[in-house]
């Protein structure tokens, strides 16, 4: 933080905007209240006809029009009921591994994916470090859904106000209690009794935050009863509008019939005390050595007449209002009537402003990391520019110096040596060029060799493929072998067989004319294209067979279709005097005739997809 830089602590609650501006005087070691503002919303945000975003923007515009924030740090709070706080006891662990262990625990404790939340953690008091190990360490994990944090930030970002700190309201209460009431300062050990705990009851409009601490450890719970519940009780029992009931609640002792007012509020009083007693009972059950010493009441809802006395009688603890900030100076603010009337609602803004001034032990923040990183980079850019400029100047000076030295060399003295160096460089360059050319030629020949013996480990399979193709060819048997009528011979000659590798056989399949698919390819092969890697065999053949007595099977391309293609599309081919051949088992599918002129046709063996 810059020297003598002021901080605005801002809380936007259900009923209004509260802000206080603090400055730290290092010489006097005091925090000074410089300014404040209290802006009630026209309506409570939770009222059915209220539009929260519009009311918040309106209050923030009013605040900015009445106060100067340029050059000050901004700290804001977010409601405790929308955040998550977990406190875990770590096993003995190396200090360097604490962040790793905490991240693992955060995944278990936070009911959302970590990328969907903003979270932070902090070791709390009570742990000790011995020989590089943390013993009896308690860690607080604080989290909030990312969308809720960004929603709270939006009114400030849209007005180009940089928020330095985002803190949950219960930790703001903790900061205020520790700094102002318990006298805890950063870097100092708390000398109080660790078994004595204090409770802060912060009554808001719709809920109450219960925070218990002994100065080191923290326990937080939200009670779903606030000032509006008392107002609604009056509207129901006394048949009043919300506005009139709110006025009557705030002025109950000056009403025409105070007894009737308190009688209408009694059920809510009883429910409120029961919730607090239940919370204290649960806290005592999990912290058996803890002893409650005092209850502090805060929040404007705590101004309700009779509430302090009622709590004291039923809880059997001393109940004190936090209506005097003992460690804060600045009479211009503290003696202002508006501030005095609403001092109970400034507890959270005061606490988060203290943290932004680095006067508390809490260091966590829910400011999105990407915003903090971008801001840090932007702040360091001027220094980076200065450093780069200085480095550039130094390089220029160095280059000029070396240039002068180079120009001072004598050509008569070093000319012959330079000529030898140039000659040697030219010779080395020639050797390198010759080597590169030879290496390129060698690589080319190796690639050609690899193509000739592609998949050397499967040469037997290639022979099987060629054997299968041979068995699928038509042939004469018996006395027909010596048939001198060439047009009667059952023969197809294959002058050439070529093979092409495809990384995606669908590329080959898409190029086949639709007419060839429908005329010559099996229906199952037409409907399902080949997938993945494989080989396509192209058989270039010719035949002279021509039997006009069988015009539908034994002439032209029809003869090829009825013999070779039909065999290639079969599961098994068995010729006389030879063993059966499993065509499909070899992976031969999608056999098709592509051209009529020279009668070539193609198929691919999926058996080779992995090669």
Q: What is the pLDDT of residues 302-354, one digit of tens each?
A: 888 888 899 999 999 999 998 889 999 999 999 999 999 999 999 999 999 99
> Is the Cβ–Cβ distance between 305 and 253 less than 8 Å?
yes
Tokens found for residue 99: 């962040």
CA dihedral 527, 528, 529, 531 (to 10 degrees): 170
> Is the Cβ–Cβ distance between 371 and 88 less than 8 Å?
no
Per-residue model confidence (pLDDT) at position 55? 94
Residue 220 resides in a domain: yes
Residue 354 resides in a domain: yes
Whether residues 332 and 250 fall in one domain: yes
Whether residues 328 and 438 fall in one domain: no
- Please write the tens of the pLDDT for every residue from 140-153: 999 999 999 999 99
Task: Check which CATH number belongs to the domain holding 32 and give it.
Answer: 3.30.420.40
Whether residues 229 and 330 fall in one domain: yes
Integer Cα distance of 607 and 354 in angstroms: 74
- Please write the tens of the pLDDT for every residue from 382-412: 777 777 788 888 887 877 766 665 555 556 6
Whether residues 145 and 240 fall in one domain: yes
Residue 372 resides in a domain: no
Whether residues 199 and 160 fall in one domain: yes
pLDDT at position 212 over 90: yes
Whether residues 437 and 481 fall in one domain: no
Domain boundary among 367, 387, 418: 367
Residue 259 resides in a domain: yes
How far from 247 is each of 84, 236, 259, CA to CA, in Å? 34, 15, 16
How many other CB atoms are found less than 10 A from the CB of residue 458?
15
Residue 421 resides in a domain: yes
Round to the nearest angstrom and report the end-to-end CA distance of the chain: 65
Q: Tell me the average pLDDT across 477-506.
A: 85
Integer Cα distance of 151 and 169 in angstroms: 16
Whether residues 77 and 106 fall in one domain: yes
Instruction: Please enumerate in sequence order all residues whose Cβ is within 8 A of that of 383, keeping only pairs 6 or more positions apart, or say none.
Output: none
Q: Tell me the average pLDDT across 515-540.
A: 89
Question: Containing domain of residue 388, as a range?
Answer: 379-408
Whether residues 197 and 87 fall in one domain: yes
The count of domains in the chain is: 4
Residue 107 resides in a domain: yes
Domain boundary among 452, 487, 513: 452
> Is the Cβ–Cβ distance between 348 and 174 less than 8 Å?
no
Whether residues 187 and 259 fall in one domain: yes
pLDDT at position 458 over 80: no
User: Of 400, 561, 404, which is closest to residue 474 (Cα–Cα)?
Assistant: 561
Mean residue pLDDT of the chain comes to: 86
Per-residue model confidence (pLDDT) at position 348? 95
Integer Cα distance of 359 and 600 in angstroms: 88
Residue 2 resides in a domain: no
3-class DSSP assignment, residue 96: helix
Residue 1 resides in a domain: no
Tokens found for residue 397: 């000076």
Distance of CA 359 to the CA centre of its chain: 32
DSSP letter for each residue of 112-152: S-GGGEEEEEEEPTT-EEETTEEES-EEEEEEEEHHHHHHH
Instruction: Please enumerate in sequence order all residues whose Cβ is within 8 A of that of 471, keeping only pairs 6 or more positions apart, or say none.
Output: 567, 573, 575, 578, 581
pLDDT at position 251 over 70: yes
Question: Which residue, chain included where needed, has tokens 């009537």?
Answer: 337
Domain boundary among 398, 424, 452: 452
Question: Which residue, chain included where needed, has tokens 């080779």?
Answer: 608
Tokens found for residue 176: 């205020």
Whether residues 361 and 212 fall in one domain: yes
Instruction: Please enumerate in sequence order all residues whose Cβ is within 8 A of that of 127, keeping only pairs 6 or more positions apart, or say none.
Output: 90, 134, 135, 136, 137, 138
Whether residues 446 and 500 fall in one domain: no
Cα–Cα–Cα angle for 470, 474, 477, rounded to 5 degrees: 105
Whether residues 421 and 472 fall in one domain: no
User: Poorest-confidence range of 396-405, 430-439, 576-585?
Assistant: 396-405
């Amino acid at each position: 933080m810059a020297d003598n830089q002021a901080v605005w602590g801002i809380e936007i609650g259900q009923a209004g905007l509260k802000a206080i501006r603090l400055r730290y005087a290092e010489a006097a070691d005091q925090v000074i209240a410089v300014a404040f503002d209290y802006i009630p919303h026209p309506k409570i945000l939770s009222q059915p006809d209220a539009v929260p975003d519009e009311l918040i923007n309106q209050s923030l515009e009013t605040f900015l029009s009445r106060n100067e924030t340029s050059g000050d740090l901004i700290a804001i709070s977010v409601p405790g009921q929308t955040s998550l706080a977990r406190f875990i006891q770590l096993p003995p662990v190396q200090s360097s591994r604490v962040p790793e262990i905490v991240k693992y625990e955060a995944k278990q404790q936070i009911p959302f994916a970590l990328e969907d939340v903003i979270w932070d953690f902090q070791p709390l008091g009570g742990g000790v470090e011995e020989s590089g190990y943390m013993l009896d360490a308690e860690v607080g994990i604080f989290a909030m859904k990312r969308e809720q944090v960004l929603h709270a930030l939006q009114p400030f970002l849209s007005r180009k106000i940089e928020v330095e700190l985002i803190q949950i309201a219960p930790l703001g209460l903790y900061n205020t209690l520790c700094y102002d009431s318990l006298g805890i300062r950063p870097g100092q050990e708390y000398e109080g009794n660790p078994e004595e705990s204090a409770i802060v009851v912060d009554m808001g409009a719709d809920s109450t935050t219960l925070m218990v601490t002994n100065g080191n450890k923290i326990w937080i719970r939200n009670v779903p009863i606030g000032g509006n519940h008392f107002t609604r009780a009056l509207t129901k029992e006394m048949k009043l509008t919300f506005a009139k009931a709110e006025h009557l609640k705030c002025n109950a002792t000056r009403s025409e019939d105070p007894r009737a007012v308190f009688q209408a509020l009694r059920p809510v009083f009883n429910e409120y005390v029961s919730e607090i007693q239940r919370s204290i009972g649960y806290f005592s059950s999990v912290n058996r050595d803890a002893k409650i010493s005092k209850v502090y009441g805060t929040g404007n809802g705590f101004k309700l007449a009779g509430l302090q006395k009622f709590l004291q009688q039923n809880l059997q603890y001393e109940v004190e209002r936090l209506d005097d900030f003992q460690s804060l100076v600045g009479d211009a603010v503290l003696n202002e009537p508006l501030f005095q009337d609403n001092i109970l609602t400034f507890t959270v803004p005061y606490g988060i402003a203290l943290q932004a001034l680095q006067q508390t032990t809490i260091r966590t923040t829910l400011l999105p990391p990407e915003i903090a990183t971008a801001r840090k980079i932007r702040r360091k850019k001027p220094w980076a520019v200065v450093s780069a400029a200085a480095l550039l100047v130094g390089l220029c000076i160095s280059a000029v110096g070396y240039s002068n030295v180079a120009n001072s060399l004598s050509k008569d003295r070093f000319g012959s040596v330079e000529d030898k160096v140039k000659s040697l460089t030219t010779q080395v360059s020639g050797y390198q060029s010759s080597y590169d050319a030879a290496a390129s030629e060698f690589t080319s020949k190796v690639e050609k060799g690899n193509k000739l013996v592609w998949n050397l480990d499967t040469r037997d399979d290639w022979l099987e493929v060629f054997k299968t193709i041979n068995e699928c060819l038509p042939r004469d048997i018996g006395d027909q072998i010596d048939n001198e009528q060439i047009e009667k011979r059952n023969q197809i000659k294959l002058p050439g067989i070529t093979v092409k590798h495809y990384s995606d056989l669908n590329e080959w399949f898409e190029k086949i004319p639709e007419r060839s698919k429908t005329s010559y390819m099996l229906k199952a092969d037409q409907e399902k294209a080949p997938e993945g890697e494989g080989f396509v065999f192209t058989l270039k053949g010719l035949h002279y067979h021509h039997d006009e007595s069988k015009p539908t099977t034994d002439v032209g391309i029809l003869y090829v279709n009825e013999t070779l293609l039909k065999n290639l599309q079969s599961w098994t081919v068995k010729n006389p005097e030879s063993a059966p051949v499993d065509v499909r088992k070899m992976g031969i599918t999608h056999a098709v005739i592509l051209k009529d002129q020279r009668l070539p046709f193609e198929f691919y063996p999926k058996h080779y997809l992995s090669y």
